[in-house]
Structure 1
Amino acid sequence: MFILGLKFDTGLLMKKLLTGCLILSGSLGFAQNKQDSVKRLKEVVIQPYFSVQPLIRATGTIGLIGQETLDRQPGSSLVSAVNTVAGVRMEERSPGSYRLSVRGSLLRSPFGVRNIKIYLDDFPLTDAGGNSYLNALDASGTSQLQILKGPHGSIYGANSGGVILIQPNGEAADTNYVAVKAEGGSFGSFRENVVLNQQIGNYGLNITQAYQRSDGYRDHSEMDRKYFQALQKWDYSKNKALKVLLFYSDLHYNTPGGLTAAQYELSPKLSRPAAGASKGAIEQQAGIYSKTIYGGVSHNWRISESFKHVISVFSSYTDFKNPFISNYEKRREFSLGLRTYVEYGKGTQNIDWKIDAGLESMKTSTDFDNFDNNFGRPAAVQALDELNASANFAFVHFSIDLHKKLLLELSGSANLYGYDYARLAPVTVAKKTYDFDVQLMPRVALSYLLTPRTSLRASVSKGYSPPTRDEVRASDHVINVDLQPEYGWNYETGIRYISKDNRLFADVNGFYYNLKSAIVRRLNENDAEFFINAGGTRQWGLESTIAYWVLPEKDFGLLRGLQLKSAYTLSHFKFDNYTDRSDDFSGNDLTGVPKNMIISSADILLPKGIYLFMQHNYTSSIPLNDANTAYAKKYDLVQAKIGWKNLHLGKVPVEIYAGADNLLNQKYSLGNDLNAFGGRYFNAAATRNFYGGMLVRL
């Protein structure tokens, strides 16, 4: 790698940097003898299955992204923060266009998020059609993410990949403040956000406003998003609480389109050019225009010390427009749903147990209107369809804790999914209904405290994911009633260690997931997508996470704190019994999944609130088609951020910061178009870029 004409070995560079930090911490930190000034590290707690519990007791493999991690990463998106979690990969084909995968294939996600269930606080962000508008959210409105890896459908409904629980601003805060942040950077990027948090007695209010724009690295990759979010909490009696969540998002981003290998090597900034009768991305003004309003109300009633009831109602409306190369699509989507459960629990000196039982019901109605795209304007009608998706499941979750050492969880759900559809044009087709068979999704899991600081865990769970609305009715405009759900069994085990002083955290787990009838994306000669069921996959994986405070945070010395982190992912994922027409892909590497990913970082704290953060991301080569005849090259990403917190403008506290991404100026594609027709796989990511900003907190 070359920086300013000098050659560097990336691994050696990072090794020397971290080694130097270790030596520095030893010479400057431990020589001091002021233990009373060292800040106590808090125990990490989570809430994956209704109740708060220490992370070390969790029966599942959980990735936690807290506010400190979010603050250290670039604030323009969640991509860098999410990719710090082993087993998770988030991609950005162009600014605003996200894809997310937990332990598996991106084949189902030409854009967006599928086969993963997402909740925003108490409310499902994933609609009944299986789609999650994750890119509607602004990163500034999020304070924490919990990523439950592997199938957890027993209490969260159908999913074959995992569950993401997003905690919005204001959920945990109980202080009064106003924070204003502004940031600018390379390629015309700018973002600002304002957060207001007020606690008045038993009433809490958090309001987040954000605006973001970027010209993008590539031609025709501009984006902008206007965002507003409000969370209100009212403990209106001793045992009753009401919560209201609302957000509005107005998102637009252009889609430059995929490039062939030759185009990518010659001019990676290029948008997709015209080819033959097919117009280019700029000519067709290809892009996404999406306006979403979402609201939810939740009520929590603690009926007695042992018994409580929670009920949530929620609704959303999305106005979606997508001028594309071959057509212009308009969608109007309305969702309405309810989630409720009761909990009963008892505890003695040696045994604690509780049971949760409930249901979730949702319906999403979608109007699809497709037209010819006449240079960014809708023209002649191609197809008009109405599709209503319904998602209903009942669940039960039982846990018993024996002697505060052995935690056993038994849970399951009965899932009923279906849809009805009608075609209005070009030929009228009367409404038809299609319901999938009821699917039972059990989960058995346990964790055992081998020592007070070491736990072992194991689980067996079933994954199940029906085809989404956009797979049943893909961009080829065919209602595919033959597409079947994917399903499979997941087996995993792991060990977790947290040192007595909470300085060292280590988590290692292995899993095997045998997925059947895997849903795979295809493109036809007109670039229209459609989906088929592949034979299945065999997914062996290993994930490890380690975080160590080499020097705990303290109030004296030149080096005030040093934390090192590393996350490693090994994905040995293969197709199993997969034949497409005359092609046999059995035994091939799973498309879109790198075999190895290593994310390492160093967080250095200095006097006067100065901090330095460095991170290295190694991603191995990625198969781009099922035949494994095309690969994206491996890459190394290095990013850094430096900031100064304890500044003041008069009496107003101010933080300033500056950062850089892709310091090694790597050429890489962060979001490949898999199985792309004509070999248009590549969406080039930004070259070396910089940003800087200021945060004022009142």
Structure 2
Amino acid sequence: MLPRYLLLVLLLMPALRLVAQQASSPPDTLTARALPAATVVGYGQRLPLRRTAAGVGVIDNTIIQRFNESSLASAVNTLPGVRLEERATGSYRLSVRGSTLRSPFGVRNVKMYYFDIPFTEANGTSPLNILDPAQIGRIEVLKGPAGSVYGAGTGGVVRLENRRPLLGQASQGRAQVGYSVGSFGLRRFTAAVETSKANGDYFRAQYAHQQLHGYREQSALRRDVFALDGQTSPTDRQTLAVHALYTDLYYQLPGGLTRAQYEQDPRLARPGTAASPGTVAQQASYASQTGLLGFTHEYRLSDRWRSTATLYGRSTSVQTPYLVDWERDAILGGGGRVALHYQGLLAGRILRVQGGGEFQASFTDARSYLNVGGAPTTLRYNDEIRTRTGFVFAQADYELPAGFLLTAGASYNRLRYQIARISSAATNPTGYGVARDFQPQVLPRLALLKEITPQLSAYASVSTGFSPPTEAELRPSDGTISQDLQAERGTSYEVGGRGTLLHERLTFDVAVFDFELRNTIVSRSNAQGIQLFANAGDTHQRGAEVAASYQLWQQVAPMPGGPGMGQTTRAGLRLWASYAYNYFRFGSYESAAGQQYGGNQLTGTAPHTLSAGLDFTQRLGFYLSPTVGHQATLPLTDANTDYAAGYWVFGSRAGWRRTLAGRLEVDFYGGIENATDRRYSLGNDLNAFGGKYFQPAPGRNYYGGALLGWRW
């Protein structure tokens, strides 16, 4: 497949060059400007986006502020090929090019980093819900398998960074407080203080509190997040960064509804019977307390050599009553990542090489009790789980003639689980223990990029990845321990291009991909709502993604009056849109009952998604951001017998944002979500027993608030 894609790129290059010259070349009296040097980490090399041979999506805090900051879902869903679902308030599920097939809850099969700290736990899960949207300053999504540099995971890589102070010519500081209210009992309070120096050193502390009664029964939330970030340079050659995070999280679980229940009253929680109580009677909920501390040290050995090393530790306590079980987990984990970077010349051309490794370990004391009315009673089982995972990697980037950039890399990966059932020791002195050593995996990647003009580039790549079962999949809540579940492995072929045209008014990013996944893991639920997992043949995930924005008009004008004279403010109107087409199908797939599902549409993935909007800003500080989102009809079962209807949702945020007298920052805002009161489900339960698929999203709702800041 890759040669076909490479041939397509080579055939298209002359046409693309001609289009770029005709559409973006300004008159002779002007000089062409290069694409803005937006830098992304990508595959470990900080390069301009136009020099990155991969599908990459970036979200910054200006995009997050386009929506209600009580949730990340709307902002993340502006990226084509990426879907963030919220089954219950605060219960996120992330899909990158269809990777949620095996994720009934939580974020799996996507590797996540918090700054340079591995955020995905050693057991394969990523607790995205312990972060508050207002603390996030940047999200970088690397689409497709990235095992050559980041290890296990076929669904991509997400890098998260908190907001940082704006660097100036001298030391400066800022303090901010914000408060907002909204429908269904929404209350939010945020506070932050930061200082920075011209050399890049900074310190920032931020706190966020959110509470919500919830749209549905049994859907309240309370979250407190404290984050501390700092960076200092002890010498001219060294940089030390520290990141600390503590989150106290509680949210209720309303459970899935059948279609009849969903159509009758979407605000209901999952009802029960005398023999099988519902989520309200069982007080279904999730509570956790998480502490994370990490350090990153960068040392510039010379102009050509530098090293980075990260060490971190994490502690988590989880309490989760559900329909049958009441789980209490205590988790200790830690690890690190180290990389050595070189940049020099080979045959007179730039060569960049990096190599290193990553290691993670965790210990979990997991206890499951019988849940009776929200209280733990009889001990069902007590397990001790030890997880060890790690990989080593190497990658080279070589600047070839004629604007080509060649990238080649690979990693070697290991994973081991040890599960000991302590609760069986009294009746079985040898205990009930299982050790799972997954076969070591070598994951290569090869990519070629061509910079056609300073405004336009195209690339082709082939990459591999593998994704072993998570701890929750090996040890589901029914008490079994799977010894047959195997790791997924896949190969992705991709071509794409990005650039600017029409005098840099039009910015675009397109990609076409073919991802072939083997040993696909799928999920189903039993009568008690317990999720079970199995390997189901293979899948073919092919699609196209387009993101574009067009600056309809823009004006830069001096800010009138006061000590802030001489500053400028931008006014303008920008249209943006992103679209993804997904032709995702099962390959060979025979169910446990012997049914053939080969050729069926991939469960839980819509063939079409769209996000679009306008960004209007006025020089006096008024702004308006109307948006629209669409998801097409999608199948809810592997058999493709039940479907969730497609939907369109509309929303908008408006406000007044200004800096007064050069010191006082104000932002007064208000907004509406789901303006047409559309009934839809943002995060369905796939293959749910008894047809309890639907997790209704909130109806029409409003929010408003204020943010005040002071600079010094």
Cα distance in 2 for partners of 1:201, 1:147 equals 29
3-state SS in 2 of match to 1:665: coil
User: What is the identity, as a one-letter code, of the residue corresponding to 2:670?
Assistant: A
Map Cα deviations across residues 358-382 of structure 1 (whole Å, 9 max, x no partner). Answer: 0101111111100011111100011
Counterpart of 2:196 (choices 194, 199, 215) is: 199
Does the 8 Å CA contact 1:117/1:126 hold for their aligned counterparts?
yes
Alpha-carbon distance in structure 2 between the residues aligned to 1:262 and 1:247: 43
How far apart are 1:648 and its partner, in Å? 5.2
Question: What residue is the counterpart of 1:527 in the other structure?
Answer: 529
Match of 2:454 in 1: 452
Deviation at 1:74, TM superposition (A): 1.4
User: Residue 41 of structure 1: CA displacement?
Assistant: 9.7
Q: Of 127, 142, 151, which residue of structure 1 is paired with 2:145?
A: 151
Partner of 2:29: none
- Distance in 2 (CA, whole Å) between partners of 1:506 and 1:305 is 35
Partner of 2:25: none
What does residue 571 of structure 1 align with? Answer: 582
Distance 1:539 1:473 in 2: 28
Using the TM superposition, name which of 339-348 and 71-80 deviates more: 339-348
What one-letter code is carried by the residue in structure 2 that aligns with 1:251? L
Q: Does the CA contact (< 8 Å) of 2:35 and 2:500 recur in 1?
A: no
Q: Is 1:397–2:395 an aligned residue pair? A: yes
Judge conservation of contact 2:539–2:587 (CA < 8 Å) in 1: yes
CA distance in 1, matches of 2:120, 2:508: 31
Q: Which among 424, 441, 447 is matched to residue 422 of structure 2?
A: 424
Match of 1:271 among 250, 260, 269: 269
CA contact (8 A) 1:67 1:144 kept: yes
Shift of 1:646: 2.3
Q: Does 1:332 align with 2:330?
A: yes
- Give the Å deviation of 1:537: 0.4
Deviations 1:482-521 (A, max 9, x none): 1100011110101212238543211111110110001111
Report how far residue 650 of structure 1 moved. 12
* Distance (whole Å) between structure 2 residues aligned to residue 517 and residue 276 of structure 1: 40
Q: Is it true that 1:83 corresponds to 2:94 in the alignment? A: no
Question: What is the deviation of 1:66?
Answer: 1.5
1:667 and 2:688 correspond: no
2:249 alignment partner in structure 1: 251
CA distance in 1, matches of 2:216, 2:597: 34
Residue 91 of structure 2 is aligned with which of 90, 93, 97?
A: 97
Q: Does 1:141 align with 2:160?
A: no
Shift of 1:602: 0.5
Q: Which of 182, 185, 200 is matched with 2:182 structurally?
A: 185
Q: Letter of the aligned partner of 2:186 in structure 1?
A: S
Residue 60 of structure 2 corresponds to: 66
Amino acid at match of 1:210: A
Distance 1:330 1:502 in 2: 55
Which runs of structure 1 show a deviation greater than 6 angstroms over 4 or more consecutive aligned residues? 556-559
Deviations 1:397-444 (A, max 9, x none): 110113571111101100001111100124552544221111000000
1:585 aligns with 2:594: no
Write the mapping of 1:274-293 to structure 2, written as runs, cut at 5 A: 274-293=272-291
Structure 2: distance between partners of 1:396 and 1:290: 37
Query: Which residue number corresponds to residue 608 of structure 1?
Result: 620
Quote the offset at 1:661 in angstroms.
0.4
Residue 49 of structure 1: SS of its match in structure 2? Answer: coil
Matched, 1:634 2:646: yes
Change (3 A) 1:401 1:366: same
Verify the 8 A CA contact 1:350 1:403 in the aligned structure 2.
no
1:223-282 alpha-carbon deviations (Å, 9 max, x no partner): 010000001111000001111110000000000000000000001100011135110111
C-alpha distance in 1, partners of 2:165/2:620? 30
Q: Give yes or no for contact 1:207–1:230 (8 Å, CA) kept in 2.
A: yes
Pair 1:680 & 2:692 matched: yes
Summarize the Cα distance change of 1:172–1:265 in structure 2 as closer, same or farther, 3 Å threshold: same
* Aligned partners of 2:586 and 2:600 also within 8 Å: yes
Q: Which residue of 2 aligns with 1:120?
A: 114
Q: What SS does structure 2 have at the residue aligned with 1:546?
A: strand
Moved more, 42-51 or 360-369: 42-51
Q: Is the 8 A contact 2:188 2:210 kept in 1?
A: yes
Judged with a 3 Å threshold, the aligned counterparts in structure 2 of structure 1 residues 101 and 64 are, in CA distance, closer, same or farther, namely: same
Contact kept in structure 1, 2:466 and 2:489, CA below 8 Å: yes
Deviates more, 1:346-355 or 1:432-441: 346-355
Instruction: Look up the match of 1:110.
Output: 104
Q: Residue 127 of structure 2 aligns to which amino acid in structure 1?
A: Y
Give the residue type in structure 2 aligned to 1:656.
F
In the TM superposition, what is the alpha-carbon distance from 1:154 to its structure 2 partner?
0.8
CA contact (8 A) 2:323 2:528 kept: no
Show CA shifts across 1:294-316 (max 9, x none): 11011100000001111111111
Q: Is 1:694 equivalent to 2:696 in the alignment?
A: no
Residue of structure 1 equivalent to 2:635: 623
Q: Is the 1:310–1:342 Cα contact (8 Å) retained in structure 2?
A: yes
1:482 — aligned with what?
484
Q: TM-score, normalised by structure 1?
A: 0.92
The separation in 1 between residues aligned to 2:233 and 2:99, in whole angstroms, is 43
Q: Which residue type is aligned with residue 179 of structure 1? A: Q
Q: Provide the rounded CA distance (Å) in 2 between the counterparts of 1:553 and 1:218.
A: 45
Structure 2 equivalent of residue 440 of structure 1 = 442
Please give the secondary structure, in 1, of the residue aligned with 2:257: coil
Q: Distance in 1 between matches of 2:174 and 2:421?
A: 52
Contact 1:105 1:591 in 2 (8 A): no
Contact 1:43 1:502 in 2 (8 A): no
Structure 1: distance between partners of 2:309 and 2:570:
49
Which has the higher mean CA deviation after the structures are superposed, 164-173 or 628-637? 164-173
SS at structure 2 position matched to 1:298: strand
Q: Shift of the alpha carbon at 1:44? A: 2.3
Distance verdict in 2 for CA 1:62–1:171, change over 3 Å: farther
Aligned residues of 2:165 and 2:196 also touching (Cα < 8 A): no
Q: Which amino acid aligns with 2:699?
A: T
C-alpha contact (below 8 Å) 2:131/2:247 kept by paired residues = yes
| In structure 1, distance between residues paired with 2:660 and 2:408 | 53
Q: Does 1:165 align with 2:165?
A: no
**Structure 2: distance between partners of 1:52 and 1:518:** 33
For 1:575, give the aligned amino acid. Answer: F
Task: Give me the identity figure in percent.
Answer: 37
Is contact 2:35-2:454 (8 Å) kept? no
3-state SS in 2 of match to 1:537:
strand
Q: Which residue of 2 aligns with 1:312?
A: 310
Give secondary structure in 2 for the equivalent of 1:197.
strand
For structure 1, which runs of at least 5 residues remain unmatched after alignment? 1-39
Of 528, 531, 540, 1:538 maps to: 540
Q: In structure 2, give the amino acid aligned to 1:177.
A: R
- Given the superposition, is the C-alpha separation of residues 500 and 234 from structure 1 closer, same or farther in structure 2, using an over 3 Å criterion? farther
Task: Give ranges in structure 2 of 5+ residues lacking alignment.
Answer: 1-33, 560-568
Output the amino acid matched with 2:195. Answer: Q
**Residues of 2 paired with 1:159 and 1:680: CA distance?**
29
- Choose the corresponding residue for 1:355, options 353, 356, 359: 353
Contact 2:149-2:394 within 8 A present in 1 as well? yes
Letter in 2 for 1:166: L
Distance 2:198 2:406 in 1: 39
Whole-angstrom CA distance in 1 between matches of 2:695 and 2:274? 21
Equivalence for 1:27:
none
Shift of 1:49: 2.8
Structure 2 counterpart of 1:630, which letter?
A: D
Alignment match, 1:301? 299
Compute the displacement of 1:389 (Å): 1.3
RMSD, matched Cα? 2.2
Distance 1:484 1:305 in 2: 45
Residue 371 of structure 1 corresponds to: 369
Measured in 2, the distance between the counterparts of 1:535 and 1:276 equals 39
1:128 Cα shift?
A: 0.8
1:41–1:503: 8 Å Cα contact kept in structure 2?
Answer: no
